[in-house]
Structure 1
Amino acid sequence: MTTPAPLHEHLCRHARERPDAAALLWYGRAITWAELDAMSDAFAARLQALGVGAGEPVVLFLNNCPQYFVAHYGIQKMGAIVCPSGPLNKAHELGYQVGDLQARVIVAASDLLPIVEQVRGQAGSTLAHVFAVHYADWLPEVPNLPLPAELQAARAAPRIRQADCEDFEAAVQSGACPAPVARGMDDVALMTYTSGTTGLPKGAMLSFANALFKTEVTAQANDFTQQSMVLSVAPLYHIAGMLMGVNVPIYAGATQVLLFRFDPQALLQAIATYRVTHWYSIAPMNVACMQLPGAEHHDLTSLQRNPVTSFGIMFTEPLARQWQDFTRGSCLSYEAAYGLSETHTMDTGMPVRAIRWGTQGKPMPGVAIRILDTATGAELPRGELGEITVRSPGNFQGYWNKPEATAATLRDGWVHTGDMGRLDAEGYLSFTGRMKEMIKVSGYSVFPEEVETLLIKHPAVAQAAVVAEPDAAKGEVVKAFIVTKPGQSLTAEALIAWSRENMATYKAPRHVRFIDALPATGAGKVLRRLLKDL
């Protein structure tokens, strides 16, 4: 471990030692360490000039872009708190978060300003200052990767000029430096909103020390070095994308190829063009890349590490072998981790020389995991199913202004996750599902993730998600939402019959509905609550 220092100090160090080296590559535009450091300094100074104080929340409302890094580290340099809000949020969702934080300042993409204005118009809104980010500002004249439609539109759109909305680009090009701010490693640096174990979204307060700890162990577990070429496409506002994109490459001093969003053509071209060595992906991304016509013509042999998160599609051993064959190299692909916002994620990691499929790996160094009986709270022996609890230097400081919720989740230094799982004899963790999403069928406990894992073994099923359906006789039964593979046909009756042959009868779906796509977050996590609304 290094001498404890906030991650923005690692950014400053790289700027001193290698000022002209590329920190970010944005569709062919190189942004150096010196530029990233200077612009984040200027933004920190501008926030101070506005009267933003240490410990004050500042909201980020934008997609992947270099400006995200500048804002994130500028906020932390002057001691304020980074508060990401997913750019898919609508006015009521953004308004709830802004209201909970009592936030005065927001950094928002120009195409999202109508939503920001709706929030500012709400009674009691505290938003007083808006920085508008124009995505096209840092794009090169001739991009070397395919631009998504949103960036093409941004290039054609006029710059937003409003009296009450400041141009982010002008703010970060001032060359100003912030006044020194005394902040300790245990001070809150980041607040990510999560539903936690229950209820409305809550701000999980994470400190400089929490972020540094998880960043260090993640970098070491996945062999990130200064020589790594990292591809970042997972949403930076999501805790996993933030760890693997905003934090780890900055800590390691690695060059990062940044994409606005996932596009298989741009992604494969980026790997081949920049000789990418590390890519954190979500399982459907791997599948989409392999299905792209002409994908085999891209040289992907530079890939060394590809940690994968199973959302919607399970990343199984056969799929990993298929991906390794597809890349025609020595790429190690494996289930990335188990983790949650309250622990700055990555509580487990997969030992790449001893991969155990169907698990999320072993606890990371410095992380302790216990499985507790949900009725008694007693620790259970290896192999038994119970609630996952976690203790580590990554554990959050509590929920913002929610002392009761904090007390329920954070007890004696342990985060009670509300997740169910088991540890095997060798210490590998298997995550089974969320306690609150558990389906009770005639008294039997059914975990959605387990049924979904079995359903996607059917040769015609591309994706599956299951929810509880009320039933007069059994209390609840399983209802499945199915996305079929292209060119495949399947009936509900055939899938139900197949399920009864391949899983316990009480787990088998009683109802099946076919849909074109599963509703999901920007990070790819299936939103079962929206399926229930269907």
Structure 2
Amino acid sequence: MDERIRKDWPGNLDPNLTYFKGQKPLHEYLRDNARLNPERIAIIWYGREITYGELDDLSERFASFLSSSGVKKGERVALFLSNCPQYFIAHYGIQKIGAVVSPCSPLFKEWELEYQLTDMEAKVIVAADSLYDVVAKVQSKTKIEQIILTNYGEFLPDEPSLNVPAEICKPKPIISDVQDMLSVINDVKGSVPAVDVNMDDISLMVYTSGTTGKPKGAMLSYGNALFKTAAATQSNRILEKDIFLTVVPLYHIAGMLLGLNCPIYANASMVLLYRFDPITVLQAIDQYKCTWWYSVVPMNVAVMQVPNAGQYDISSLRTTRGTSFGINLTQEIAEAWAKFTGGCQICEGAYGLSETHTADTFMPSNAVKWGTQGIPTYETKIRIVDPETGKEKPVGEMGEIVISTPGAFKGYWNKPEESAQTLREGWIYTGDMGQLDAKNYLIFCGRFKEMIKVSGYSVFPEEVEAMLMRHEGIAQAAVTGVPDAQKGEVVKAYIVLKSGQSTHITDQNIMDWAKQRMAPYKAPRYVEFRESLPATGAGKVLRRLLKEKQN
């Protein structure tokens, strides 16, 4: 470990990373858990309990089916699913035969799915039957030969213990010329053929815009996934006895790490929800005594606003890690959360990116610094460099964040030039702006490509958004740059007001308020009120969609 990091390493954590069952793929951890504790509950799906033995057997059968269908090591298999038990079955089943999991957002429309399937050259897709129409419309334009469908309601119990979203209770449609996931699993006769898997082999390909351009497939290995899972588990003190609440989308890299891999690695149990609903979250924590939750901050705010929330006992919750998407996690929100839950600590989850399997930092629970993303995690180095010269910046100065980590990806699929631009001599050049303080805490300041240039001044959207959120009438804020003849660009703010504020607050009110509290070049020159802001399934606001609509 870097001496600078070791000097300030949290005293309640071992500075040396250890692996629970050695360095092997995570699907082998699943196999070990099933062998040693077959009756232990892995997943609770609205009351339906799936044991480790059952989960491993189902993924084994799916792996055997894929192999018998001709899927080979290294081939990409697309997953077009929201949260459900079938996601776990498919994810680990694909990796058990050395094939590559490539998630596609279930929010995708036709052109988005077509682009990703074409780029990854997938021949097989596992999809929810409710998304079949999207798949069918693009299949002829891609290399997809085999469509495997599943129904979200297939694992639901006869008498659910939690509120079930209406959209996953729809009858299973009859669709010809496709295969049904559970049917092929039940029909499997043979076992999974032995596959020689190296920890450096690619096991996951997640699409990201990277530092520029169209989405690219970031190739991540079995070793990348194990390292980040072990580091996140140890730094966050995740225990076998923990009961996770898994709500954040599994197809998102952070949801995959903390909602799918970490519980399996730790041999823990989890309550899995199809999507976020504040009342269902309260029901789940109350009924199943959840202890650990990875959330995005708007979820926590929504849960605290549920009328009569006090009727639910959520005192079992001991740890919440929250990511500031749309609403920044502040000390005030953290204190409100602790009071609401009866003592549960919430702090910033981590800084990370798809190219590193995320979680390059963590927030020490006994040394929280608000406004930062924590310190570099195990075996990870972070430097701040001048984006033009590459020279390292002094402590406290802003520059580009570059990272050296065992979680570093192997490059972008079929894009050697972009790979070489991002991966340089063992360091990942993130395209993000930030700074390190004297204690090595990282302060994330924004993306280069989203930086706004006003009369030569650099304006980072995240900074302006954080200041706007201090306005008592604003619920959410997003900021982009718009062209200006004199200044090059000026700031435009997209605002979602709190309930009941629309008749009291005007765009001029917001602009006048901002001028009094921000440097003139940062204060918004335009304000547009919205009912909601476009966001990913994980809750991250998509500023590019706001810019596209204004152009």
2:39 corresponding residue in structure 1: 20
- Aligned partner (choices 129, 143, 154) of residue 126 of structure 1: 143
- Aligned partner (choices 475, 484, 487) of residue 474 of structure 1: 487
Aligned residues: 527
- Aligned partner (choices 377, 390, 409) of residue 422 of structure 2: 409
Query: What SS class does the counterpart of residue 248 from structure 2 fall into?
Result: coil
- Aligned partner (choices 476, 480, 484) of residue 463 of structure 1: 476
2:158 corresponding residue in structure 1: 141
For residues 473 and 61 of structure 1, the distance between their equivalents in structure 2, rounded to whole angstroms, comes to: 46
Query: What SS class does the counterpart of residue 28 from structure 2 fall into?
Result: helix
Query: What SS class does the counterpart of residue 230 from structure 1 fall into?
Result: strand
CA contact (8 A) 1:132 1:160 kept: no
Return the offset for 1:294: 1.5
Return the offset for 1:530: 1.1
Return the offset for 1:224: 1.2
For residues 291 and 390 of structure 2, the distance between their equivalents in structure 1, rounded to whole angstroms, comes to: 44
Return the offset for 1:119: 1.0
- Aligned partner (choices 289, 296, 304) of residue 318 of structure 2: 304
2:445 corresponding residue in structure 1: 432
- Aligned partner (choices 262, 266, 270) of residue 248 of structure 1: 262
Matches within 5 A, 1:10-409: 10-122=29-141, 125-152=142-169, 154=170, 157-162=171-176, 164-174=177-187, 176-328=190-342, 330-409=343-422
- What per-residue deviation string (whole Å, max 9, x for no partner) do you get for residues 355-410 of structure 1? 00000000001110000101211011110000000111000000001000000000
CA contact (8 A) 1:207 1:397 kept: yes
For residues 302 and 223 of structure 1, the distance between their equivalents in structure 2, rounded to whole angstroms, comes to: 16
CA contact (8 A) 2:452 2:459 kept: yes
CA contact (8 A) 2:95 2:203 kept: yes
Query: What SS class does the counterpart of residue 516 from structure 2 fall into?
Result: helix
Return the offset for 1:258: 0.1
CA contact (8 A) 2:151 2:172 kept: no
Look up the equivalent residue of 1:165 and give its one-letter code.
Answer: V
For residues 379 and 150 of structure 1, the distance between their equivalents in structure 2, rounded to whole angstroms, comes to: 51
2:462 corresponding residue in structure 1: 449
For residues 410 and 104 of structure 2, the distance between their equivalents in structure 1, rounded to whole angstroms, comes to: 19
For residues 121 and 507 of structure 2, the distance between their equivalents in structure 1, rounded to whole angstroms, comes to: 49
- What per-residue deviation string (whole Å, max 9, x for no partner) do you get for residues 197-233 of structure 1? 0000000000000000000010111121110000000
CA contact (8 A) 2:337 2:345 kept: no
For residues 228 and 341 of structure 1, the distance between their equivalents in structure 2, rounded to whole angstroms, comes to: 26
Look up the equivalent residue of 2:281 and give its one-letter code.
Answer: L
Query: What SS class does the counterpart of residue 242 from structure 1 fall into?
Result: helix
Return the offset for 1:497: 1.1
Query: What SS class does the counterpart of residue 54 from structure 1 fall into?
Result: coil
Look up the equivalent residue of 1:86 and give its one-letter code.
Answer: S
Return the offset for 1:73: 0.1
- What per-residue deviation string (whole Å, max 9, x for no partner) do you get for residues 2-59 of structure 1? 2210000000011011101110000000001011000100111111111110000000
For residues 25 and 115 of structure 1, the distance between their equivalents in structure 2, rounded to whole angstroms, comes to: 29
Look up the equivalent residue of 1:313 and give its one-letter code.
Answer: I
Query: What SS class does the counterpart of residue 398 from structure 1 fall into?
Result: coil
1:501 corresponding residue in structure 2: 516
Look up the equivalent residue of 1:493 and give its one-letter code.
Answer: Q
CA root-mean-square deviation: 0.8
In the TM superposition, structure 1's runs of 4+ consecutive aligned residues that sit over 4 Å from their partners are none
CA contact (8 A) 1:110 1:160 kept: no
CA contact (8 A) 2:208 2:218 kept: yes
Look up the equivalent residue of 1:364 and give its one-letter code.
Answer: T
Look up the equivalent residue of 2:231 and give its one-letter code.
Answer: V
For residues 368 and 253 of structure 1, the distance between their equivalents in structure 2, rounded to whole angstroms, comes to: 29
For residues 311 and 121 of structure 2, the distance between their equivalents in structure 1, rounded to whole angstroms, comes to: 51
CA contact (8 A) 1:320 1:334 kept: yes
1:486 corresponding residue in structure 2: 499
- Aligned partner (choices 506, 522, 528) of residue 513 of structure 1: 528
Query: What SS class does the counterpart of residue 125 from structure 2 fall into?
Result: strand
For residues 480 and 296 of structure 2, the distance between their equivalents in structure 1, rounded to whole angstroms, comes to: 22
Query: What SS class does the counterpart of residue 121 from structure 1 fall into?
Result: helix
1:522 corresponding residue in structure 2: 537
For residues 159 and 226 of structure 1, the distance between their equivalents in structure 2, rounded to whole angstroms, comes to: 39
Look up the equivalent residue of 1:73 and give its one-letter code.
Answer: Y
Using the size of structure 2 for normalisation, the TM-score is: 0.95
- Aligned partner (choices 434, 437, 451) of residue 421 of structure 1: 434
Check 1:75–1:363 CA distance in 2 against 1; reply closer, same or farther (3 A cut).
Answer: same
Query: What SS class does the counterpart of residue 280 from structure 1 fall into?
Result: strand
For residues 304 and 478 of structure 1, the distance between their equivalents in structure 2, rounded to whole angstroms, comes to: 40
2:10 corresponding residue in structure 1: none
For residues 390 and 11 of structure 1, the distance between their equivalents in structure 2, rounded to whole angstroms, comes to: 30
CA contact (8 A) 2:325 2:541 kept: yes
For residues 425 and 490 of structure 1, the distance between their equivalents in structure 2, rounded to whole angstroms, comes to: 41
2:3 corresponding residue in structure 1: none
Query: What SS class does the counterpart of residue 462 from structure 1 fall into?
Result: strand
For residues 315 and 160 of structure 1, the distance between their equivalents in structure 2, rounded to whole angstroms, comes to: 46
For residues 166 and 452 of structure 2, the distance between their equivalents in structure 1, rounded to whole angstroms, comes to: 40
CA contact (8 A) 1:61 1:85 kept: yes
Query: What SS class does the counterpart of residue 234 from structure 1 fall into?
Result: coil
